[in-house]
Amino acid sequence: MLQELSLPINIASVVAHREGTCPGMNAEFGRSAMNYKGSCHCGRVAFEVEGEIEGALACNCSICQRKGSLLWFVPREKLHLLTPDDAASSYTFNKHVIKHRFCPVCGVHPYGEGTDPKGNAMAAINIRCIEGIDLAAIPVTHYDGRSL
């Protein structure tokens, strides 16, 4: 089974923000969840995501560096697949705790699946695969995953 995410960003803090339990974010609480649509290039893998993209992570680990993903972490239940789960192939390595999901036809990596340190199922959305957003306006945090 999946045990931990190999990118130990502070997911608890992200979730607290989203749920309005972080004192600094009370003004945000109650705003209706926004839905984003995304897909791989050919459309074999398509999905919707609930939430608001407040930032993304650029990681320099061996796989993220190669893929160039910009990752947005959400609870797994916020990711709604519009295509069958097995439309996306899975790639795992190292401790095999993250399933890197990719389209076997066009090769694009739209999302990954894993769990946070508390065991909650999480998804890492590659926001480069989301439609209609201004990528340049989204703050990117550079994460030194290579040093783990």
Q: Which residues bind Zn ion (CB under 5 A)?
A: 40, 42, 44, 103, 105-106
Residue placing its CB nearer to Zn ion in the complex, 44 or 76: 44
Residue placing its CB nearer to Zn ion in the complex, 83 or 120: 83
Nearest approach in angstroms of CB 104 to Zn ion is 8
Residue placing its CB nearer to Zn ion in the complex, 107 or 119: 107
Q: CA neighbours within 13 Å on the CB side: how many for 16?
A: 9
**Residue 50: which of 64, 71, 34, 39 has the closest Cα?**
34
Residue placing its CB nearer to Zn ion in the complex, 5 or 129: 129
Nearest approach in angstroms of CB 125 to Zn ion is 16
Nearest approach in angstroms of CB 110 to Zn ion is 8
Nearest approach in angstroms of CB 108 to Zn ion is 6
What is the C-alpha separation between 34 and 48, in angstroms, rounded? Answer: 10
Cβ-in-10-Å burial (0-12, 13-18, 19+) of 6 comes to: middle
Q: Starting from the edge strand earliest in sequence, which strands make up the sheet with 140-143, in order?
A: 89-91, 99-102, 111-115, 121-126, 71-75, 56-59, 140-143
